[in-house]
Structure 1
Amino acid sequence: MDRAFKQKMIAICNNKIEKKGANVGLSFYAFFENKNENPELLMEVAEWWIKTNKLDHFEKALKIKKMIED
């Protein structure tokens, strides 16, 4: 994933945490609009989420944010 998209993911995590608290969970779909305008990027993030990191469908936003920042 490119740096700009990682920054977008962090911003979305921060927004969710701010609005719903530290225990908020999200899926990789949270980083995309309802309209699939970039299927290649969606598949790249899905592979990172599911295949590379073996994450559950919903994970804590804090966990995802930390993974991206590291």
Structure 2
Amino acid sequence: MTPTLKTKILEVCDKKIAAKGENVGISFYAFFKNKNDDPELLMEAAEWWIRTHQLDHFEKAVKIKALVQAGR
């Protein structure tokens, strides 16, 4: 995972958790604006989320944050 994606995921997870609590769910689309302004990063996130970890569409933000922090 590139440092750019790692930073983006951690920032978004922290914001979502702070705003909605530890049970908030997110999808990998949460890391991007509605406009696809960075297709390479979007594909990297999709690959990590879907192929590498075979995660459901929505997962708990705390789970995603823990995976990223563990370097998985």
Verify: 1:24 aligned to 2:24, yes or no.
yes
Percent identity reads 60
- 2:2 — aligned with what? 2
Deviation at 1:38, TM superposition (A): 1.3
| Structure-2-length-normalised TM-score | 0.91
C-alpha offsets along residues 2-51 of structure 1, whole Å, 9 cap, x if unaligned?
Answer: 11321121011011001101000000000001100111211111011001
| Structure-1-length-normalised TM-score | 0.94
- 2:55 — aligned with what? 55
Verify: 1:36 aligned to 2:66, yes or no.
no
Gaps of 5+ in 2: none
- 2:11 — aligned with what? 11
- Shifted more, 37-46 versus 18-27: the winner is 37-46
Query: RMSD of the TM alignment (CA)?
Result: 0.8
Amino acid at match of 1:23: N
